[in-house]
A and B are shown apart, each in its own frame.
Chain A
Amino acid sequence: MALSDAAVVALARDGDSEAFRALVERHGRAVFRLAHRMTGSRTDAEDIVQETFIRAYRQLSRFESRASFGTWIHRIAMNCTIDLLRSRGSYHEAAYDDELLKEPSIQQTVPRAPSPERLILSREVKDAVQNAMGALSPLERSAFVLRHFEGRSHEEIGEALGLGTSATKHSIFRAVRKMRVVLAPFVES
């Protein structure tokens, strides 16, 4: 039977690098998924995975074994991602203005209505979703991912992103509206 995360963490704390490797193998994909969803970049996500586990390794002594390692490592990954986005200087909340949804840059990303045959191509749907996510600002994207995929409350998201609850909600609302515009042809057919 496989050792629990808590037991593996205890071994890793004692300097067992193979134990730490086991933690990387168990949680690496989930960390990558979170980072990729938030950044939309494979390269960034790989860098974030690396940085997350390096931080985790250095802070292993602070990890409380009563907590879930998965939750803990997710929080570190989320912070790493937010740090990366902030360091890029592109981490600003767009004004809450519906006019922005009419911007040509967003309208231009709307694909033409696909035929039913094309709809069955999951590749196309995947591309459209990536396109829709790409139309979000880093802040909207982060807020949406943390709400939708990570199931965080508005308060938690606001705390992580440095926003008030209301601004957090609006970021998520805006993200969904933008995605609806881009994905409308797929959803409607």
Chain B
Amino acid sequence: MTPHLTEDDLLLHYYGETDPSREGIVAAHLGACAECRASLVGLERLLAMVNSGVDVDLPQTFERDIWRRLAPHVVRPHASVLWSTVLTPRWLAWGAAAAGVVLAVLLVVQLRLHGPSPRKAADEGPHRAPATADVFRERVLLADLENHFERSEMMLVELVNTSHYTPAEIQREQARAEDLLAANRLYRQTAANVGNAPVAHVLEELERLLVDVAASSPTAAAADLEVLGRRTESQSLIFKVRVLSRSTDRGFEGPSTQG
């Protein structure tokens, strides 16, 4: 009898890839050798086990989930589709909210620039109902602005003080920056429109930073954020935002200095 078959011989035999010059020898040996036949059965069982265990179960929503990821890359919306997307209730709600913010800021800034001070209006008593309503609305809007500055300040403080970002922290910072960015843009445009240059200037600096944080590349995000943190520090951006925040609290006079 020929020498026992190696595991490699058996594997080639299993896949039908034995060299034609050896096929006869291998077949004859397997016919005569119970030990090699048993080894071949063991190999078949091993590969059958691999067949049965290698795949993971996929959810029924697999195709839908994959399409959701793919669609932005492969679907080019034409004008009518774009409009029908924009005119969905969700986008209309966002648009309305954005318009509301613009109006609110316009109102607040105009009141501060041209209208009576809240304290004075409040002092004039309840017989001035419209002025009181204005004051109330103004206070609500100022609180909103103040909230924006406070959130921005918190983000900047973390940016300056964090030296090693985990992927989860990067994602969180990017999401936060995106969130702040939309509102910041509106506040900055409004401040510029009503001629409040110091406020517009600080908001513009803040916006540039938010854009950079939100757009930092996934691969270099940790290093990017650390650089941005140093930039924030060197530009004293936290200080300026803090001044704006306090000014808003006192009635939105804006920082008196730039730099």
Residues in chain A within 8 A of chain B (CB atoms): 15, 17, 20-21, 24-25, 28-29, 32-33, 36-37, 42, 46, 49-50, 53-54, 57, 122, 125-130, 132-133, 147-149, 154, 169, 172-173, 176-177, 179-180, 183, 186-188
Is the CB–CB distance between A128 and B53 below 8 Å? yes
Number of A-B contacts (CB under 8 A): 95
Which of the segments B7-15, B94-102, B193-201, B210-218 contacts the partner chain?
A: B7-15
A-facing residues in B46-87 (Cβ within 8 Å) = 46-47, 49-50, 52-56, 58, 62-63, 66-67, 69-71, 73-76
Is the CB–CB distance between B55 and A187 below 8 Å? no
Q: In the complex, A17 Cα to B15 Cα: how many Å?
A: 41
- B223 to nearest A CB, angstroms? 19
A176/B74 contact (C-beta < 8 A), A133-B54, A148-B50, A187-B42 known: no
Is the CB–CB distance between B56 and A21 below 8 Å? no
A177: B residues at CB distance < 8 A = 7
Is the CB–CB distance between A57 and B62 below 8 Å? no
Contact for B62 among A29, A54, A126, A180, CB less than 8 A? A29
Interface pairs (13), CB distance under 8 Å = A15-B76, A21-B67, A21-B71, A29-B58, A49-B66, A57-B74, A126-B53, A149-B54, A176-B11, A176-B47, A179-B46, A179-B50, A188-B42
Is the CB–CB distance between A32 and B49 below 8 Å? no
A37: B residues at CB distance < 8 A = 54-55
Is the CB–CB distance between A24 and B56 below 8 Å? no
- Complex: chain B residue closest to A151, CB-CB: B15
- Apart from A53-B74, A186-B49, 19 more pairs, CB < 8 Å: A24-B67, A24-B70, A25-B67, A32-B66, A33-B55, A49-B66, A50-B70, A53-B66, A54-B70, A54-B73, A122-B53, A129-B54, A130-B54, A148-B50, A179-B50, A180-B7, A180-B42, A180-B46, A187-B46
A57/B49 contact (C-beta < 8 A), A21-B67, A129-B54 known: no
Contact for A187 among B15, B45, B52, CB less than 8 A? B45
A49: B residues at CB distance < 8 A = 66
- Complex: chain A residue closest to B81, CB-CB: A17
- B74 to nearest A CB, angstroms? 5
Is the CB–CB distance between B11 and A24 below 8 Å? no
B66: A residues at CB distance < 8 A = 24, 28, 32, 46, 49-50, 53
- B63 to nearest A CB, angstroms? 4
Q: In the complex, A21 Cα to B73 Cα: how many Å?
A: 12
Is the CB–CB distance between A24 and B50 below 8 Å? no
Chain A at the B interface: SS class: helix
Q: Does B158 reach chain A (CB closer than 8 Å)?
A: no
- A52 to nearest B CB, angstroms? 10
Is the CB–CB distance between A28 and B63 below 8 Å? yes
Is the CB–CB distance between A42 and B50 below 8 Å? no
- A98 to nearest B CB, angstroms? 11
Q: Does B17 reach chain A (CB closer than 8 Å)?
A: yes
Is the CB–CB distance between A17 and B46 below 8 Å? no
B67: A residues at CB distance < 8 A = 21, 24-25
- Complex: chain B residue closest to A147, CB-CB: B15
Is the CB–CB distance between B49 and A42 below 8 Å? no
A46: B residues at CB distance < 8 A = 66, 69
A-facing residues in B11-62 (Cβ within 8 Å) = 11, 15, 17, 42-43, 45-47, 49-50, 52-56, 58, 62
Contact for B49 among A28, A33, A125, A149, CB less than 8 A? A125
Q: In the complex, A57 Cα to B69 Cα: how many Å?
A: 14
A57/B50 contact (C-beta < 8 A), A36-B55, A49-B66, A147-B15 known: no
- Complex: chain B residue closest to A182, CB-CB: B46
Q: In the complex, A28 Cα to B58 Cα: how many Å?
A: 11
- Complex: chain B residue closest to A40, CB-CB: B54
Is the CB–CB distance between A148 and B62 below 8 Å? no
A-facing residues in B92-147 (Cβ within 8 Å) = none
A-facing residues in B177-221 (Cβ within 8 Å) = none
Q: In the complex, A128 Cα to B49 Cα: how many Å?
A: 9
